[in-house]
Amino acid sequence: MATFELYRRSTIGMCLTETLDEMVQSGTLSPELAIQVLVQFDKSMTEALESQVKTKVSIKGHLHTYRFCDNVWTFILQDAMFKIDDRQENVSRVKIVACDSKLLTQ
């Protein structure tokens, strides 16, 4: 089953990657097992986002850059406004990376 390695770039993914790197460096963990852990993280994270999160968000902003390559969209927005439930966040610059959801079901 294919997994998106996308979520490894999140905070939780980076913490896991760092932890695994340290343990592989110190010899506590084998690289193969570390990769297995990361793949499992991909699956667990995707599942959790599907099932446990109910938040809806609205994003508006000026599209500075767009790119579509290898079925991945990358947008760079400027002066973006995020409406999350009942609160709002404003950022001057944000990057959005999105993978094709249809690839997971294939």
Partner 1 sequence: MLMLLLLRETVGGGLMATTTSGVYIHVIEDVVSKVREEFINNGGPGESVLSELQGIWDTKMMQAGVLSGPIDRSLVQRPTPGGGPLTHDLNVPYEGTEEYETPTAEMLFPPTPLQTPLPTPLPGTTDNSSLYNIPTGSSDYNTPGTENGSHASDVKEKPSTYMQPPSPWTNPRLDVNVAYEPERGNSNPQFTHDLYVPPSGKRKRDDSSAQYQNGGYIPQQDGASDAMPKANLEGNAFGITFVSDRKVPRDVTCSSSNIPQVDGPMPDAYDEMLSTPNIYSYQGPAEDFNEARTPAPNEIQTSTPVAVQNDIIEDDEELLNEDDDDDELDDLESGEDMNTQHLVLAQFDKVTRTKSRWKCNLKDGIMHINDKDILFNKALGEFDF
How far, in Å, CA of 21 to CA of 34, rounded?
Answer: 8
Give the one residue of 1, 2, 26, 69 binding partner 1; rule: CB under 8 A.
26
Q: Binding to partner 1 by residue 35, rule CB under 8 A?
A: no
* Contacts within 8 Å (CB) and 24+ apart, 78-84: 82/57, 82/58, 83/57, 83/58, 83/59, 84/55, 84/57
Which stretches of the chain bind partner 1, using CB under 8 A? 4, 6-7, 9-12, 14-16, 18-20, 22-23, 26, 28-30, 33, 36-37, 40-41, 43-50, 52-68, 73-77, 80, 82, 84, 89, 91, 93-101, 104
